[in-house]
Chains A and B, each alone.
Chain A
């Protein structure tokens, strides 16, 4: 029962390509949505549960992507090994960064992570010898899982959906454990959390690292799936979009963050037609959600449905 939502998502993910075979929206948009769900669910662990703001998460996404891109194209590493190396590098950097940065609170923490994101982006653009500079790196080989090459859209769809469900499962487990409660305690009152024996600095550092690892994992999948990376995919706008997904869906809810990611992906696709007005409509929708559903789309709507349901039952 605890994982009912996860099973429902798995069923939908499996049914879509059967119901709509060779459909651009299912495979291509689905892959893009899945990668964003991994990013949003990871960021939600840090933002929604622990209450710490990161405006530099695109940096970890990019580091994961570039690690895979550089190691496979320049050094001919196998894809999985490159992915593991990327996770290790991002995990170590996040850990080194966390101790000094998480001492900061509120706006200062946001500014520090923002600065980190900008620095990483500058390195991607400037360190041409390694990263290919603004032109990026092309020719990244597809993922190869024990001889099974992930080289069609449908195969990619399957791999990304499996990875997405894995990320959601991990996040649900963490949230529904003492680790998750300790994080929400840090969010609720740091004084009280410490007084109950929670080492708040350690708890924040560890979830920052976990959150960065989710982003690096998504980045590596992204690089292999696209076959090409450039700094544009990991700039400040992307970091802001990630925060938007978490807030849009509803903080401190795994499915909320996932819904936020899917909603924003679909919005992008839907607004392609109105290219010139995309940012305008995007902004207006965000404002509307913040004003009318301040708890986010998912949490707000599910509460409203529950109220209606109860009212209907009482009425009947």
Chain B
């Protein structure tokens, strides 16, 4: 455990989670999880199924109310804030089970992603005042830029629900990026993708980091995680098992035991 403290890189991390606990009835889904994500990194959270990875994401986003502990993002305490306020601070995410707006086109999905930068009031929109028209043009432009970054430009006008699964996952990333977050949470982005799509995903994640966005990644696809991440957090039964660089983690006997030794919760 001392290795964690010694290897904390920068003095002011973007995200600092302290002793976070989340219980559902008697079940401790998170039993005092602490870690820090420095700005600008790709930081992965791995662990066997049921280790608490998605619970951690949901607690970060305000979907759950943690029982105790603290989540500090850029100096703000996130615990107790509603989800839309957390989003306004600069956190965005994708979902393990797609939460796309199937009733809209790809472009409209991404335009909803621009919501935080839209100032249109209800009355102004109803009367379609000139500033509303200008804003519509601006949002459309932003959305198209984001689509281009995600290589979805040619799909803009298609209904989101008619596209192949791999593309839908990519639209979710584009939509989350359109909010211009400082921290992007990706919940199993490679699940259900084929090898080509996974390779393209790796490039996309690297491109996202290059734009200055910090990425927090939950993923089971080990080759992807090990090749793309700067640091990893290993969760097991709601607790931190290990933390470090991909090389540290691969050499850690506890991780190897959790993944390979324990026949009960084996994961790829």
Contact = CB atoms under 8 A, between A and B. Distances in A.
A197 B115 contact: yes
Contacts of A252: 103
Interface stretch (B41-49, B84-92, B189-197, B257-265): B84-92
Given A184-B103, A196-B116, A197-B179, A173 B127 contact: yes
A192 interface: yes
Interface stretch (A11-19, A33-41, A174-182, A265-273): A174-182
A191 interface: yes
B93 A177 contact: no
Contacts of A198: 84, 112, 115
Interface string B99-114: 1111110001001111
B99 A177 contact: no
A274 to B, nearest CB: 38
B116 A178 contact: no
A173 B128 CA distance: 6
Contacts of B114: 178
B120 interface: yes
Interface residues of A, number: 28
B126 A199 contact: no
A206 interface: yes
B67 to A, nearest CB: 21
Contacts of B132: 173, 177
B95 interface: yes
A97 interface: no
Of B101, B108, B116, most A-chain CB atoms within 10 Å: B101
Given A177-B132, A178-B135, A193 B125 contact: no
Contacts of A200: 84
Of B88, B99, B111, B179, most A-chain CB atoms within 10 Å: B99
B111 A178 contact: yes
Contact of A193 (B111, B112, B122): B112
Chain A interface secondary structure, helix, strand, loop or mixed?
helix
B108 A181 contact: yes
B83 interface: yes
Contact of B101 (A173, A178, A188, A206): A188
A184 B125 contact: no
Contacts, number: 101
B182 interface: no
B266 to A, nearest CB: 30
Contact of A194 (B83, B102, B127, B139): B83
B87 A191 contact: no
A187 interface: yes
B63 A173 contact: no
Contacts of B9: none
Contacts of A199: 82, 84
Contact of B95 (A179, A191, A206): A191
B175 interface: yes
A196 B87 contact: yes
Interface in A63-112: none
B125 A196 contact: no
Contact of A179 (B93, B104, B120): B120
Contacts of B88: 197
A178 B120 contact: yes
B100 A189 contact: yes
Contacts of B176: 195-196
Contacts of B111: 178, 181
Given A173-B132, A189-B100, 12 more contacts: A170-B126, A174-B122, A178-B114, A178-B135, A179-B125, A180-B125, A185-B112, A192-B175, A194-B82, A195-B93, A196-B92, A196-B113
Interface of B: 61, 63, 82-84, 87-88, 92-93, 95, 99-104, 108, 111-116, 118, 120, 122, 125-128, 132, 135-136, 139, 175-176, 179
